[in-house]
Amino acid sequence: MNKESVRAILATDCGSTTTKAILIEKIDGEYRLTVRGEAPTTVEAPAEDVTQGVRNAALEVGELAGRPIIDENGDFIKPYADGKGIDLYLSTSSAGGGLQMMVAGVVSSMSAESAQRAALGAGAVVMEVLSSNDKRPAYEKIEIIRRLRPDMVLLSGGVDGGIQKHVVEMAQLFGAADPRPRLGINYKLPVIFAGNKDVREQIERILGKKTALEIVDNLRPAIDRENLQPARQKIQSQFLEHVMAHAPGYPNLMKMADEEIMPTPAAVGLIMQKIAELRHINILGVDIGGATTDVFSVFDGVFNRTVSANYGMSYSISNVVTDAGLDKVGRWMSFTIDEADLRNRIKNKMIRPTSIPYLAEDLEIEQAVCREALRLSFGQHYQLASGLKGLQRGNNIDSMFDEERGGSLIDPLRLNMLIGSGGVLSHAPERWQAALMLTDSFLPCGITQLTVDSIFMMPQLGVLSAIMPEAAANVFEKDCLIELGVCLAPLGASGRKAEAGKEIMQGQIDGEAFTLHSGELLLKKVPQGKTVKVGLQPKRGFDMGAGEGKPLEREVKGGTVGLVIDGRGRPALQLPEEENERIRKMQEWRAVMAG
C-alpha cells in the first residue's frame, strides 16, 4: 500500500467490555482525529464473535462521520472514494483477558526477571514467575503450571555457554505438568525458549512433541547484557498464530485487518516509545482500569512495562484498600468520615463496578483510592525497571542465586513527561483533579510535564505508529494528549525533610518572582500553548535537577491547569499528623489547584 495515498484510517481497540473505534483522516495535509465511536465487545456469549462489536462501533463512526464505512454485507468499503469508506483498518485487542503468560528462569532476580520484562513489554499479563531458586518444591510448581492454564510460556535461563542443569530441570517441570492452554484443548501450548543456546537440543527433546515450541536468541546472553526484542517479537507472533486464532471470531478479525493485530498494552508501549524517541525525552505513563493498572516507562531509550493485576478502580478496588490500608486512603480526604462508612462506600463500588460517583464526597473517595492504586503500582514498576543483576560477582554461577536487586532505571529528576490514562484520570470532572492525583501519586521531582490521554486512543495510535509513525505522532500530540501543565518540585537531597513553613526555593516566571515554603502548594496560571521562561533557585539541601542548591533556567509550556509549584515534600509527601491540621491542609491545597 502506498502510504502517501492513505486518506482515511479506521482503528479499533477491542477491550474486555467495550470496543473503541476512531476515524483518522488527512485534512489539509496532516492526519487528525475526526470521529470516535464505541460498542459493547462481543467476544463472549451470546454473540461469541468479536467482529460483531467491531462492526457496530464502525457503524456508529460512519453515522457520526456522515458517510458509510461498512457495506450491506458487513465488509469495510475500500478504498476511500466518492466520500465513502476507508483506506486502512487496524486493530488492537485485550478482549477475553488479553494475553496471559507464565515465565520461568533459573535465578529469580536475573533470567526470570528478564523473562518477566520481555513478556510484559510484549503486552502480556504475567500470571506466575517460576525459578529454580524460588524455594518451592517441584510438585508444587507442577501443580501451579497445571492449574493456571496460561496462553503461552516463556522459558529462559543460563547465559550462553553457562549453566545447563537448572535450565533443563525447569523444562522437565513443564514437560511433566503437560499444561493445557486456556482457550482450548485442540492445539498445543505455545512455549518460547530464550535461554542458554547450548541446551536447545535438550529442550527440543523434552518439549518439542508436547508443545508448540519456538526457540529464539537468549534474552540474557551474558551477565551484563539483556536482549529482549527477539523474545518479545516471537511472543506477539505466537499470540496471533496460536492464541488469537482460537478466540471467538478472531480469525475473521485478522482477515479484516490490514496489519497484524497487536495486544493493547504492547500498542500503548509502542506509541510511548515513539514519542520518547521523537522528542528525545524520558516518559512515565499509567493506564488505570477497573481491574488492573499498567505502568510504562521509557528512560534513555529503555522501555519497561509492569502490570499490577490486582489494583483497579472497580473490580479490584478492595485489593487496593487491603494492600495500602484504609488509613492511607483516608489521608487524602478533605473531610471527616467514619471508617465503617468509608469501607462501605468502597465495597459498594466493588459490587457495582459500572457505577459513577454522584456526590462530591464519593468522587473524592474514588480519587483517594486512585492515588493509592497508582502509588502501589508505581512502586512495583520502580523495582522491576531496574539495572541488570549479577554484575558485581565473579564467574561462580551458584553465587547468583543470592543476587541482590540492582538500582532502578527510573530517575525522578530526569523524568520529562508524565502521562495519565484511564477513566478516573481522563474523565475527572476538573482537570486540576487529574493533575493533583498524578502529583500526589508519582511525586515528580524537578521539572515534569503533566498530561492525560483525552479519550484513551493510545492503543490505536500505537498500532498505527508501527506503519505510519509520523501520522500517529501528529494525532497523539494534537488530538490525544491534553497538556495539564508543568510540575516544579524540589527534591530534598539525601531524603532531607524541611521544617514546615521553611523557605526551600525562590524563582521567577516570566520575571514575576515567587517564594516556595515547605508544605506549600502554589499554582501559576499559564495558558495552554504559551511558553514561559522560569528561573529556579533551590535552597541548600534541595535539588531541581541541576544539583543541590544550584540554579536552573528553563522554558516550559503552560496547560489547562498551569504551573504547579509543589513544596509538599520529596521524595516523600509530608502530611500533618494531627487530623484537623491535615484536613485543613487538604482543603487548602485543593482550593489552590481549583484556582
Q: What CATH number corresponds to the domain at position 89? A: 3.30.420.40
Residue 567 inside a domain? The answer is yes
What residues have CB less than 8 Å from 355, skipping those under 6 apart?
348, 349
CA distance 585 to 595: 15
Last residue of a domain, one of 95, 116, 148: 95
Q: Which helix (H) or strand (E) holds 236?
A: helix 229-238
Q: What integer pLDDT is reported at residue 377 of this predicted model?
A: 93
- Tell me the longest C-alpha to C-alpha distance in the chain: 73
Three-state secondary-structure class, residue 582: helix
Identify which of 465, 373, 379 has the alpha carbon closest to the alpha carbon of residue 423: 373
Query: Same structural domain for residues 475 and 572?
Result: yes
Three-state secondary-structure class, residue 593: helix
Per-residue pLDDT of 473-525, as tens digits, reads 999 989 999 999 999 999 997 666 778 889 999 999 999 999 999 999 999 99
Residue 396 inside a domain? The answer is no
Query: Same structural domain for residues 83 and 126?
Result: no
Strand partners, 13: 20, 92
What residues have CB less than 8 Å from 517, skipping those under 6 apart?
501, 502, 503, 504, 567
Q: Which domain holds residue 58?
A: 3-95
Place of cell 502548594: 521
Query: Same structural domain for residues 61 and 180?
Result: no
Q: What integer pLDDT is reported at residue 394 of this predicted model?
A: 33
The number of distinct structural domains making up the chain is 3
What residues have CB less than 8 Å from 340, skipping those under 6 apart?
none
Residue 516 inside a domain? The answer is yes
Place of cell 536482549: 227
Angle, alpha carbons 120-123-127 (nearest 5°): 55
Per-residue pLDDT of 185-235, as tens digits, reads 667 889 999 999 999 999 999 999 999 999 999 999 998 899 999 999 899
Query: Same structural domain for residues 9 and 77?
Result: yes
CA distance 24 to 472: 9
Q: What integer pLDDT is reported at residue 106 of this predicted model?
A: 93
Last residue of a domain, one of 75, 95, 115: 95
Residue 260 inside a domain? The answer is no
Query: Same structural domain for residues 175 and 70?
Result: no
Residue 303 inside a domain? The answer is yes
Q: Which helix (H) or strand (E) holds 99?
A: strand 99-105
The tally of CA atoms less than 13 A away on the side-chain side of residue 224 is 5
Residue 395 inside a domain? The answer is no
Residue 583 inside a domain? The answer is yes
Q: What integer pLDDT is reported at residue 65 of this predicted model?
A: 95
CB 291 within 8 A of CB 312: yes
Query: Same structural domain for residues 242 and 295?
Result: no
Give the chain's residues under pLDDT 50. Answer: 391-405
CB 106 within 8 A of CB 170: yes
Q: How far is CA 553 from CA 450, 537, 569, in A?
A: 19, 9, 21
Q: What integer pLDDT is reported at residue 1 of this predicted model?
A: 63
Query: Same structural domain for residues 164 and 309?
Result: no
Q: What integer pLDDT is reported at residue 397 of this predicted model?
A: 32
Query: Same structural domain for residues 337 and 467?
Result: yes
What CATH number is given to the structural domain containing 142? 3.40.50.280
Query: Same structural domain for residues 23 and 168?
Result: no
Query: Same structural domain for residues 105 and 54?
Result: no
Q: What integer pLDDT is reported at residue 331 of this predicted model?
A: 95
Query: Same structural domain for residues 579 and 463?
Result: yes
What residues have CB less than 8 Å from 235, skipping those under 6 apart?
99, 101, 118, 119, 122, 123, 124, 152, 154, 192
Query: Same structural domain for residues 289 and 243?
Result: no
Residue 398 inside a domain? The answer is no
Q: What integer pLDDT is reported at residue 96 of this predicted model?
A: 66
> Which cell goes with 203?
529442550
